[in-house]
Structure 1
Amino acid sequence: MNINLLKNRVELENVNYGEELVAEEYNSDELAISEDQRTPDVNDILTETIYKKAVRLTMLIGAALMPLFFLPWTTNVLELNKQMFVVVIAGAGLVLWLLDIVMSGKLSWRFNPLDKGVLALAGAVALSAVFSIAKFKSIFGAAVGLSDSLLTVVSLTVVYMLMINSFDDKGKALRTFFSVSVVVAILYGFLQMSGFQIFKYLNISILQFTASGAFNTVGSVNVLGMMAAIILPMLYTNKSENKIIDYLSKIGILAALAILVIINWWVLWSVAIVGMLAVVALESLFSSRKGVFRMSKFVFPMTITILGILLVVMGLNLVFVKKNLPVEIALSYKLSGNVAWGVLQENFAFGYGPENFSLAFDKHGAGKLRNTTLSGIKLFDSTSQVLNMAVHNGLVGLAALGFVLWLLAQSLFRVLSSRLMNFDQENIGVISAMVAAVVAMFLYPFNLVLAFTFYALLAMIALAVWGDKRVVYNVEEKASLSLISSLGFIGGLLMALVGLYFVSLNYVADVKYARALNQTEAEKALGYTIEAINWKGNDDRFYVLSSQLALNLLSRELVTKAAPDDTRKNDRIQNYLSSAVSLAQKATQVAPNESNNWGNLGNVYQNLIQLVDGTDALAETAYLKASELRPGDPSFYNRIGSMYLLRADLLRRLVASRSVDFQQLNLKADAALLKAEDAFKKAIELSNNFGLAIYNLGSVYERQGKLSEAVKQLETIAPFNANQPGLAFELGLLYYRANQKDKAFNQLQRAIVLSPDYSNARWYLALIYEERREIDRAIEQLERILSIEANKDNEIVLKKLEELKAGKISIPPKHVLDEKPL
Structure 2
Amino acid sequence: MFSLLGQYKKAIKDSSKAIELNPKFAEAQVVSNVALFSWSNVSARSFNSFGSWSSLALLLGFGIAYLLPSFGGRSRLSIPLFFIFVLGAVLMNLNFVWILLGILSLLFVALALALREQRGRLFAVSLVLLLVSTLFLLLGTPLGQIFADNFDSFGRPNEVRPALDATFDIAKQVLASSPLFGSGSNTFGFQWEKFRNPSIVADPVFGLVRFNTGHNTILMFLIENGILGALSLVLFAALFIWNGLRVLGTSSGEGGLYVRSAFAGGLFLVLSWFLYPVNIALFLLTFLSVGLFYVSLREAGTLEPLVIHFFETKERGFVFSLLLIFLLVGGVAGMYYETTRYMGQISFARGIDLYNTTGEANAALIAVQRGIQFDSRQDRYYRMAAQLEYVKMQRALDRFSQGGISQQVMLDDFSSAYNAAHTDAEKAIELGKNDSQNYRILGQIYGLAIPFDKNTFTLATENFEKAKELSPSDPLILVDLARTYLALADVTILQGGGTTSRRIAGEHQEKAIEYLNKAIAQRPNLTQAHFTLSQLYAVRNQLPEAIARARSTIILAPHDIGAVFQLGFLLYQQQSYDEAQSVFEEVAARAPNHSNARYFLGLIYDRKGLREKALEQFEEVAVFNPNDEELRAIIAALKSGGRAEDVLNKPPPENRRSAPLEDTSPREIPTQ
Match of 1:612 in 2: 453
Deviations 1:579-609 (A, max 9, x none): 1112112211210100111121122122222
- The one-letter amino acid of 1:306's match is L
Work out which of the residue numbers 212, 237, 246 in structure 2 matches 1:405. 237
The RMSD of aligned alpha carbons is 3.7
Q: More displaced, 620-629 or 697-706?
A: 697-706
Q: More displaced, 547-556 or 234-243?
A: 234-243
Matched, 1:498 2:336: no
Matched, 1:758 2:604: yes
Q: Percent identity?
A: 20
Match of 2:25 in 1: 188
Match of 2:613 in 1: none
Match of 2:38 in 1: 205
Could you tell me whether the CA contact under 8 Å between 2:182 and 2:223 is conserved in 1?
Answer: yes
Work out which of the residue numbers 381, 389, 403 in structure 1 matches 2:213. 381
Matched, 1:259 2:88: yes
Partner Cα distance (2:100, 2:217) in 1: 14
Deviations 1:687-745 (A, max 9, x none): 45545434544443444455565224432259447799975554336789xxxxxxx68
- The one-letter amino acid of 2:390's match is L
- The one-letter amino acid of 1:714's match is A
**Structure-to-structure mapping, 1:718-729, within 5 angstroms:** 719-720=558-559, 727=566
Could you tell me whether the CA contact under 8 Å between 1:233 and 1:275 is conserved in 2?
Answer: yes
Match of 1:177 in 2: 14
Q: Report the alpha carbon displacement of residue 297 of structure 1 after superposing the two structures with TM.
A: 2.9
Q: Report the alpha carbon displacement of residue 327 of structure 1 after superposing the two structures with TM.
A: 0.7
Matched, 1:670 2:506: yes
Matched, 1:543 2:382: yes
Could you tell me whether the CA contact under 8 Å between 1:382 and 1:445 is conserved in 2?
Answer: yes
Matched, 1:324 2:155: yes
Q: Mind listing any 5+ residue stretches in structure 2 that lack a counterpart?
A: 587-600, 610-639, 647-672
Deviations 1:44-97 (A, max 9, x none): 57xxxxxxxxxxxxxxxxxxxxxxxxxxxxxxxxxxxxxxxxxxxxxxxxxxxx
**Structure-to-structure mapping, 1:768-807, within 5 angstroms:** 790=642
Match of 1:300 in 2: 125
Matched, 1:700 2:516: no
Work out which of the residue numbers 301, 314, 318 in structure 2 matches 1:483. 318
Match of 1:732 in 2: 571
Could you tell me whether the CA contact under 8 Å between 1:385 and 1:444 is conserved in 2?
Answer: yes
Matched, 1:272 2:101: yes
Partner Cα distance (1:557, 1:685) in 2: 34
Deviations 1:319-349 (A, max 9, x none): 1221632110111111122122222222111
Match of 1:582 in 2: 423
Query: How many corresponding residue pairs?
Result: 583
Are residues 703 and 172 of structure 1, via their aligned partners in 2, closer, same or farther at CA, if it must alter by over 3 Å? same
Q: Report the alpha carbon displacement of residue 760 of structure 1 after superposing the two structures with TM.
A: 9.2
Are residues 419 and 585 of structure 1, via their aligned partners in 2, closer, same or farther at CA, if it must alter by over 3 Å? closer
Match of 1:359 in 2: 190
Instruction: Give the greater-gyration-radius structure (CA).
Output: 1
Are residues 509 and 687 of structure 1, via their aligned partners in 2, closer, same or farther at CA, if it must alter by over 3 Å? closer
Could you tell me whether the CA contact under 8 Å between 2:193 and 2:471 is conserved in 1?
Answer: yes
Q: Mind listing any 5+ residue stretches in structure 1 that lack a counterpart?
A: 1-12, 14-43, 46-166, 737-743, 764-787, 795-822
**Structure-to-structure mapping, 1:506-517, within 5 angstroms:** 506-517=341-352
Partner Cα distance (1:748, 1:508) in 2: 50
Deviations 1:344-380 (A, max 9, x none): 2221111121221111111122634111121211111
Q: Report the alpha carbon displacement of residue 573 of structure 1 after superposing the two structures with TM.
A: 4.0
Are residues 704 and 554 of structure 1, via their aligned partners in 2, closer, same or farther at CA, if it must alter by over 3 Å? closer
Could you tell me whether the CA contact under 8 Å between 2:524 and 2:563 is conserved in 1?
Answer: no
Partner Cα distance (1:756, 1:220) in 2: 37
Partner Cα distance (2:89, 2:644) in 1: 60
Partner Cα distance (1:759, 1:454) in 2: 59
Are residues 598 and 713 of structure 1, via their aligned partners in 2, closer, same or farther at CA, if it must alter by over 3 Å? farther
Deviations 1:617-645 (A, max 9, x none): 32222222112111222221122113323
Equivalent residue of 1:381, what SS?
A: coil
Are residues 227 and 728 of structure 1, via their aligned partners in 2, closer, same or farther at CA, if it must alter by over 3 Å? same
Partner Cα distance (1:198, 1:554) in 2: 38
Partner Cα distance (1:726, 1:598) in 2: 30
Deviations 1:664-696 (A, max 9, x none): 431232122011012123223434554543454
Are residues 712 and 633 of structure 1, via their aligned partners in 2, closer, same or farther at CA, if it must alter by over 3 Å? farther
Partner Cα distance (1:757, 1:471) in 2: 78
Match of 2:665 in 1: none
Q: Report the alpha carbon displacement of residue 390 of structure 1 after superposing the two structures with TM.
A: 1.1
Partner Cα distance (1:461, 1:305) in 2: 24
Work out which of the residue numbers 288, 293, 298 in structure 2 matches 1:466. 298
- The one-letter amino acid of 1:345's match is A
Match of 1:34 in 2: none
Could you tell me whether the CA contact under 8 Å between 1:282 and 1:428 is conserved in 2?
Answer: no
Partner Cα distance (2:537, 2:411) in 1: 39
Could you tell me whether the CA contact under 8 Å between 1:230 and 1:436 is conserved in 2?
Answer: yes
TM-score using structure 1 length? 0.64
* Structure with higher RCO (Cα < 8 A, 6+ apart): 1
Are residues 789 and 562 of structure 1, via their aligned partners in 2, closer, same or farther at CA, if it must alter by over 3 Å? closer
- The one-letter amino acid of 2:165's match is K
Work out which of the residue numbers 234, 241, 247 in structure 1 matches 2:66. 234
Could you tell me whether the CA contact under 8 Å between 2:201 and 2:473 is conserved in 1?
Answer: yes
Q: Report the alpha carbon displacement of residue 448 of structure 1 after superposing the two structures with TM.
A: 2.5
TM-score using structure 2 length? 0.77
Partner Cα distance (1:366, 1:307) in 2: 38
Partner Cα distance (1:422, 1:196) in 2: 40
Q: More displaced, 745-754 or 389-398?
A: 745-754
Match of 1:598 in 2: 439
Are residues 613 and 188 of structure 1, via their aligned partners in 2, closer, same or farther at CA, if it must alter by over 3 Å? same
Match of 2:179 in 1: 348
Equivalent residue of 1:173, what SS?
A: helix
Partner Cα distance (2:584, 2:49) in 1: 50
Could you tell me whether the CA contact under 8 Å between 2:348 and 2:368 is conserved in 1?
Answer: yes
Could you tell me whether the CA contact under 8 Å between 2:189 and 2:212 is conserved in 1?
Answer: yes
Match of 1:334 in 2: 165
- The one-letter amino acid of 1:213's match is R
Partner Cα distance (2:220, 2:484) in 1: 37
- The one-letter amino acid of 2:164's match is Y
Match of 1:133 in 2: none
Are residues 529 and 420 of structure 1, via their aligned partners in 2, closer, same or farther at CA, if it must alter by over 3 Å? closer
Q: More displaced, 381-390 or 663-672?
A: 663-672
**Structure-to-structure mapping, 1:647-666, within 5 angstroms:** 647-649=488-490, 651-652=492-493, 654=494, 661-666=497-502
**Structure-to-structure mapping, 1:616-627, within 5 angstroms:** 616-627=457-468
Partner Cα distance (1:351, 1:196) in 2: 43
Partner Cα distance (1:408, 1:793) in 2: 69
Q: Report the alpha carbon displacement of residue 563 of structure 1 after superposing the two structures with TM.
A: 8.9
Q: Report the alpha carbon displacement of residue 792 of structure 1 after superposing the two structures with TM.
A: 12
